[in-house]
Structure 1
Amino acid sequence: MAFAPNIHSWVYLAEFQNGGTWKGSFQNKNPYTLADFAKLSQEEQRAVYTARNQFSELCLVSYTSQYALGVFEGLKAFPQADGSWTMFRPLDNCKRMQRSMAGILQPTMEPEALLEALLELMRHTIEQGVDIKYQSSWERDHFNNACAIYIRPFSYSEPGLGVNRSQTPWIIAVSTPVSGYFDSGKSTAMISDRVRAMPGGTGWIKCASNYVISMLARCEAREKGFMEAIFLDGKEQRYLEEGSGSNIFVLLKNGTLVTPELKDTILPGITRDSVIKLAKAEGTCVEERPVSISELLSDGAELFATGTAAGLVPIHGIDYKGSYYDISSQDEESLTVRLQTRLKGIQYGLLPDPYDWVVKI
């Protein structure tokens, strides 16, 4: 159940009106019970997913399809041991989507309104039936391969040709079942020589165009046997910035946890913010500042990536300019594993949530 467009039948569509309001509706596209869907052949199942991925309301030639003028979010619904479902900090995702849409000059939806739409979408989806239940076996590897529902709201423009802003965009939300984002096995990364973002650009916005470079770098890394690509800054190619789809943390040998400070080249990750709070709560000194590749290689004790899709993933080694460097094995006593256990424990309801991050569906 890796990331794939295996879209659940319920979807949400909202169109911005010239009067300044959003007109939204829920659609149940090609619905099946779990039992009936399981009876279909693989080819028939693929046909259902393809049909669910077609939206007659959306145009082919648009500012989004031609110029990548669109934004998106990613958040998850988590199954709980008692059979209920929750979402993790969903209002923060909705606020970030509002900032992203404003960042590319699209009209925005109030975060609270988008959150209610996403909650209702999940209520419909879960009632329809999803083949995911909490498994105690997930706890054995700190939920590395646990399943969840991934929720993807995104914006899409009206018809357009010629570089211009979107005046009456759509917001669409779909969901899919997911498990681990990265391939299982030893976690390693390659320092990419590509530039993800430059000052004054859109690096801080979760917009479609940013992910072209991320895709190229990640594909190059995977072709060479690495799990992830890590970008350095665009000006000096000296300081760590992000992974292809994640924020980056370095635990120094002196016990200080460092992560690149937020600026307009770095996406303000919600998991990133959560990890900072969890680390500080257990007494770890956390610094948000520039961290150079040379500091990582000379003083780094642990390295990990964070993100909604990734969760919290240890990185055991990196390739830099053709040379491979081992990082700590990160055993059960490491800060990486402790933070991973706490974060996932809160998300899956195994541990208490003192921060009011969890929202019941």
Structure 2
Amino acid sequence: MATAADTIEFRELPHPAPTSDADRALALANPGFGTQFTDHMVSIEWTEGEGWHNATVGPLQPIPLHPASAVLHYAQEIFEGLKAYRHPDGSTALFRPEENARRFNKSADRLAMPHLPEALFISAIEALLAKDGGWIPEGAGASLYLRPFMFADEVFLGVRPAKRYRFMVIASPAGNYFKSGAPAVSIWVSSEYTRAAPGGTGAAKCGGNYAASLVPQAAAIERGFDQVVFLDAVERKWIEELGGMNLFFVFDDGRVVTPALTGTILPGITRASLIELLRAEGLDVSEGRYSIDQWEADARSGKLVECFACGTAAVVTAVGRVAGHDIDFTVGSGGPGQVTEKVKATLTGIQRGEIADSHGWVRKLG
């Protein structure tokens, strides 16, 4: 049954100076990733007792915040990431947005924040796309990256859940996440830092998890590597995930392993989709534990033939070299393997409307 929050109407605020067609075309010619933004944003407020209200879609602009706003002191903040695609028939499409809505609410549970109805989550995205659909770039690997987020903006100093929040959606035209031409990413194994601990916020998509990854990520880049991979916080031996991507391991006997969701790993929507696609190809996919020592041994013996990382931003990316303080090895040929290339082509083909969607994953907006 629909509730008042599900059917809330968005009030449109006029934009005094939208981007010209010429300037937008210039921006879309080389969008990069996360550096340019569309003209509009969505905002919805929540207060204790009133619930969700005051939904608007209006000009992208700075957010006024009191210095004592709860988010600045107690980090009640969560977000999501998904993409809008231009299909060959000219329509706009989303990929599994209902899964983002569900994960958003699971993150809200962990951070003691209110649920946003799934229908309202999707309606907010559609309201923004109705205004800024012309910002979807063309070309291979291009899309419009959507960033829904929620934060506590109650003005108070005290350790308790806030009584006031704001949900917003912004959008950014995006090209390839990693530098063009790189056949595979290189990974540094973090032995000093961990991403998340049992009972923590590892399964929630909140800013604090990413902030904790910045020092080891910077250390990896200083050593010439693209990404950092984290081990578990207890035994410091089991592979968990990269700073923002899940991992898959492909073996010479047709098996595929991905680290299990134990509460310390973000349950990726791309990850879940790839598990289904790989199983549809007849591969034996399991979710379990895989150690750093085994990773090295299997790569050196040739038993492990491919490894790839996945996420909304990077989609599917081969892992070539893996190194740490006392290890350094190459996976397979050091570049994308057959399984990696095939599953990437299938996933992106479905997302972009080039392959029939037999899973019901694509939501067309017209």
- Smaller-chain TM-score range? 0.7 to 0.9
Pairing of 1:186-205 with structure 2 (within 5 A) = 186-193=184-191, 194-205=193-204
- The answer to whether the 8 A contact 1:69-1:157 is kept is yes
CA shift digits 1:283-327 (9 cap, x unpaired): 000010011112211222211111111101111111122432111
- The answer to whether the 8 A contact 2:320-2:335 is kept is no
Q: Structure 1 pair 119/160, CA: closer, same or farther in 2 (3 Å)?
A: same
Q: Does 1:340 align with 2:344?
A: yes
Q: Structure 1 pair 2/59, CA: closer, same or farther in 2 (3 Å)?
A: farther
Q: Which amino acid aligns with 1:83?
A: G
Match in the other structure for 1:155: 150
Match in the other structure for 1:273: 272
> In 1, distance between residues paired with 2:175 and 2:348?
13
CA shift digits 1:29-75 (9 cap, x unpaired): 2xxxxxxxxxxxxxxxxxxxxxx34023x434322122322100001
What is the CA-CA distance between 1:13 and the residue it aligns to?
0.6
Q: Does 1:315 align with 2:323?
A: no
Percent identity over the alignment? 33
> In 1, distance between residues paired with 2:337 and 2:319?
16
Among candidates 120, 123, 131, match of residue 113 of structure 1: 120
1:318 match: secondary structure: strand
CA shift digits 1:244-298 (9 cap, x unpaired): 0001111123221000111110111100000000000000000100111122112
CA shift digits 1:81-110 (9 cap, x unpaired): 222211100010011101111111111111
Match in the other structure for 2:62: 54
Q: Which amino acid aligns with 2:84?
A: A
- The answer to whether the 8 A contact 1:204-1:266 is kept is yes
Q: Which amino acid aligns with 2:152?
A: S
- The answer to whether the 8 A contact 1:17-1:168 is kept is yes
CA RMSD of aligned residues (A): 1.7
Pairing of 1:268-307 with structure 2 (within 5 A) = 268-299=267-298, 300-307=304-311
Match in the other structure for 1:33: none
> In 1, distance between residues paired with 2:54 and 2:94?
21
What is the CA-CA distance between 1:198 and the residue it aligns to?
0.5
Task: Give TM-score, length-normalised by structure 2.
Answer: 0.85
Q: Structure 1 pair 341/131, CA: closer, same or farther in 2 (3 Å)?
A: closer
Match in the other structure for 2:83: 76
- The answer to whether the 8 A contact 1:63-1:164 is kept is no
> In 2, distance between residues paired with 1:325 and 1:272?
25
Q: Which amino acid aligns with 2:57?
A: Q
> In 1, distance between residues paired with 2:215 and 2:350?
34
Match in the other structure for 1:260: 259
Which stretch shows the higher mean deviation, 166-175 or 281-290?
A: 166-175
Match in the other structure for 2:19: none
What is the CA-CA distance between 1:161 and the residue it aligns to?
2.2
2:113 match: secondary structure: coil
What is the CA-CA distance between 1:208 and the residue it aligns to?
1.2
> In 1, distance between residues paired with 2:231 and 2:335?
27
CA shift digits 1:139-177 (9 cap, x unpaired): xxxxxxx11111111111122323321222111111111
Q: Choose between structure 1 and 2: higher strand proportion.
A: 2
> In 2, distance between residues paired with 1:14 and 1:4?
23
Q: Does 1:326 align with 2:356?
A: no
Q: Which amino acid aligns with 2:135?
A: V
Q: Which amino acid aligns with 1:100?
A: S
How many residue pairs match? The answer is 326
Which stretch shows the higher mean deviation, 181-190 or 238-247?
A: 181-190
Unaligned runs of 5+ in 1: 30-51, 139-145
Q: Which amino acid aligns with 2:194?
A: V
Among candidates 99, 107, 116, match of residue 106 of structure 2: 99
Task: Give TM-score, length-normalised by structure 1.
Answer: 0.86
- The answer to whether the 8 A contact 2:42-2:127 is kept is no
What is the CA-CA distance between 1:3 and the residue it aligns to?
2.5
> In 1, distance between residues paired with 2:216 and 2:126?
34
What is the CA-CA distance between 1:131 and the residue it aligns to?
5.9
> In 2, distance between residues paired with 1:290 and 1:212?
25
Q: Structure 1 pair 331/211, CA: closer, same or farther in 2 (3 Å)?
A: closer
